[in-house]
Amino acid sequence: MTATMREPEALSGDAAWELVEDAQRGDTVAFGRLYERYRHLVGNFLCARITDFSTVEDLVHETFARALHSIATVRRGSNDPGAWFVTIARHLLLDHVKSARHRREVVTGDFDPNRCGTDTLEDRVLDRLMADRLWSRAGDLSDDQHRCLVLRFALGLSVEQTAARMGRDGPAVRALQYRAVRRLGALLKADSWEHTPA
């Protein structure tokens, strides 16, 4: 599936967290606004990994049902609330993939037209391991660098959307992203030296 869902206008991080807090106080309209704001983000995340659109729709709805059920547990943090919704969707996706009744369904990774049809199982496993390693080391970055990478790459936001969420301008986000990627590269390079046999 190559179609993506259109995202509404970005909310600032503070405005989004205020909606979460209103929803925690029982404001169903606030939760509805969160749904309208983040359903596209969750849908795009799932569409990149599942080819069956009806399954994507089911998982999007289940994501928000679980979010509504556990809205009282989420706390304001450095990340946009969208990261919380995507985390729920990711767990549902993993459960879906592991369930026996869905084993015949094809689940795909991120689409790269240059590699279409050429990946072996080994390539996919290595790609996933590298992605897991990258995100685990991203925790060693500064809070701003980590948030920038989450917004840009995990949530797939544009530079402009990321800037709005972080209260910065586009060039500042580009510079922050550049420094974060360089720092992450240095951390990974240091890891590879530590694990090289003598």
Instruction: Encode pLDDT of 45-74 as tens digits.
Output: 888 888 777 888 889 999 999 999 999 888
In a domain, 198, yes or no: no
Buried b (16+ CB within 10 A) or exposed e, 8-47: eebbebeebbebbebbeeeeeebbebbbebbbbbbbbbbb
CA dihedral 11, 15, 21, 24 (to 10 degrees): -30
Q: How far is CA 51 from CA 7, 147, 176, in A?
A: 20, 29, 34
- Is 47 in contact with 4 (CB distance < 8 Å)? yes
Which pLDDT band holds residue 174 (cuts at 50, 70, 90)? Answer: very high
Answer yes or no: do 103 and 136 share one domain: no
Count the domains in the chain: 2
Instruction: Determine the average pLDDT of the residues in 3-17.
Output: 60
Backbone conformation region of residue 117, classed left if phi is above 0, alpha if psi is from -120 to 50, else beta:
left
Does residue 35 have a pLDDT over 60?
Answer: yes
Answer yes or no: do 25 and 84 share one domain: yes
pTM value is: 0.48
Q: How far apart are CA 33 and CA 16, in angstroms?
A: 9
pLDDT: which is higher, 128 or 118: 128
Instruction: Tell which of 57, 86, 111 closes a domain.
Output: 111
In a domain, 98, yes or no: yes
In a domain, 169, yes or no: yes
Phi and psi, residue 85, nearest 5°: -65, -40
Answer yes or no: do 140 and 60 share one domain: no
In a domain, 8, yes or no: yes
3-state DSSP helix/strand/coil % of the chain, to nearest 5: 70, 0, 30
Q: Which domain holds residue 122?
A: 115-193
Q: How far apart are CA 48 and CA 100, in angstroms?
A: 22
Question: Which among 130, 162, 129, 160 is positioned nearest to 146, based on CA atoms?
Answer: 162
Q: Which residue has the tokens 């993506």?
A: 4
Instruction: Tell which of 65, 95, 111 closes a domain.
Output: 111
